[in-house]
Amino acid sequence: MIPMVEVRRGGVTESVHHGVAVVAGADGRLLHAWGDPDLLTFPRSSLKPFQALSLVESGAADGLDAAHLALACASHRAEPFQVRMVEEWLGRLGRPESALVCGPALPMGEGDLADALRAGGKRRVFHNCSGKHCGFLAAAAAFGAPEGYERPDHPAQAHWLGALSELIGQDAAALPRGTDGCGLPALAMTVADAARAAARYAALAVQDSRREAAIRRLLAALREHPDHVSGRGRPTSRIVAATGGRVVLKEGAEGFVLGFVPEMGLGIAVKILDGASRGKMAVFATILGRLGLLPAERAAELARAVEAPVLDSNNRAVGEVAALALG
C-alpha cells in the first residue's frame, strides 16, 4: 500500500489516502505499478466508455453527435446544459423519464441543487448516469429489445461485455459482479486489468474495423466534450485541456480514475483504496508528469489545481489536499 495523498490542516497532516496506480501498455505489460496491481475492485463509472460501445456498435448512435457520445460516457453533475440534453435525447427516443432505470437524484452543484429542490426535488434525469442510460435505451431499441436494458443478459449489456472481453483478453461475463449505484451491473476486476483494457482501447487494439471506428469516435468525444463527461471547469476538463487532448479520462465512484493515452497506447488506472474522491485527480496528474506527458512543474501545478483546498465554513482556506511524490 502506497500513501498517495495527504490532507493537511494548518500545515499538519490530518488524514492520508493510500492507493494503487498502474500504467499499462496495449501489449498487457505494466510500465509502472504503485501498490498491488492485482487488487480486485470495481472501476465503476470508469467503464462507461466501454459500456458506450453498445450504443455506437449497435448503430443507435448513427444520428448522434460527439456531445451525445460524451454524455453517454458521463458521470455528469446535472448542470442545466446536461439535463437539457438528456431531456432532448429522451424526446428523440420517444421515451418518458420513467424509462430510465437510474433512480431519482439531485444535481451536485450547490446552486443547481437549490434550484432543483425549489422546482420539485429529485428526478431521474438528474442522476449522474442518466446520459449512459439514454445510451442504453437507444442501444436496446436498436437491438430490438427496448425493455429491460438493466438485466445482465439483455443484448445491450451482453454486447459491451463481449467488447470488454476482447479488450481484457478474458471473459468479462465471468468477472465478479455487483450492482452499481444506478442499478446496472457493476464488474470487478484488478486495477491492472482495468489499465490494460484502457491501453488497448487507447491503442485501438481490436480485431474488427467497426469496433475500431466506434472506439475512435468515443475517444474523440471524450477529448472534445470533457465538460459533458463531468462538468464545466471540473478536473476532467482541466486535465484534458492541460494535455491538449493527448490524454482523456473517465472517473468512477469510490476513488477510481481511468486514463487513455492514444499516442502512447497507454492506459492509466488509479484506485484510492478507501474509496475517496479527493486526491485521486491529483494522483492522476502526478502520473502524467511521470510519463512525460506534462513537464514536471506543470504536472505539479495541475495536481494542485484539480483539488479544492480545505475550506472552513466562512470559505477561508485552512488546509490542502496534496498528492505525494510517487516512488
- Residues lying near a copy of itself in the complex (CB under 8 A): 1, 7, 9-18, 40-42, 101-105, 113-114, 117-118, 121, 127, 176-183, 186, 188, 254-255, 272-276, 312-316, 318-319
**Closest CB 228 distance from a copy of itself, rounded Å:** 20
Pairwise CA distance, residues 36 & 28, whole Å: 16
**Closest CB 281 distance from a copy of itself, rounded Å:** 16
Pick the closer one to a copy of itself by CB: 104 or 292. 104
Pick the closer one to a copy of itself by CB: 255 or 289. 255
Q: 107-145 b/e with 16+ CB inside 10 Å = b? A: bbbeebeeebeeeeeebbbbbbbbbbbbbbbbbbbbbee
**Closest CB 255 distance from a copy of itself, rounded Å:** 7
> Nearest-5° angle of CA 19, CA 22, CA 28?
150
**Closest CB 175 distance from a copy of itself, rounded Å:** 10
> Are the beta carbons of 50 and 189 closer than 8 angstroms?
no
Pick the closer one to a copy of itself by CB: 113 or 204. 113
**Closest CB 41 distance from a copy of itself, rounded Å:** 6
Pick the closer one to a copy of itself by CB: 21 or 272. 272
**Closest CB 89 distance from a copy of itself, rounded Å:** 19
Pick the closer one to a copy of itself by CB: 207 or 313. 313
Q: Tell me, what amino acid is at 278?
A: R
| Cβ-defined contacts of 298-301 (< 8 Å, 24+) | 298/242
Grid cell 466506434 is found at: 214
Pairwise CA distance, residues 272 & 283, whole Å: 9
Pick the closer one to a copy of itself by CB: 296 or 308. 308
Pairwise CA distance, residues 140 & 114, whole Å: 34
**Closest CB 192 distance from a copy of itself, rounded Å:** 16
Q: How far from the centroid of its chain's Cα atoms is residue 52's Cα?
A: 12
β-sheet bridge partners, residue 40: 190
The candidate with the shortest Cα–Cα distance to 16, out of 269, 235, 321, 326, is 321
Q: Residue 56: left if φ>0, alpha if ψ -120 to 50, beta else—which one?
A: alpha
**Closest CB 114 distance from a copy of itself, rounded Å:** 5
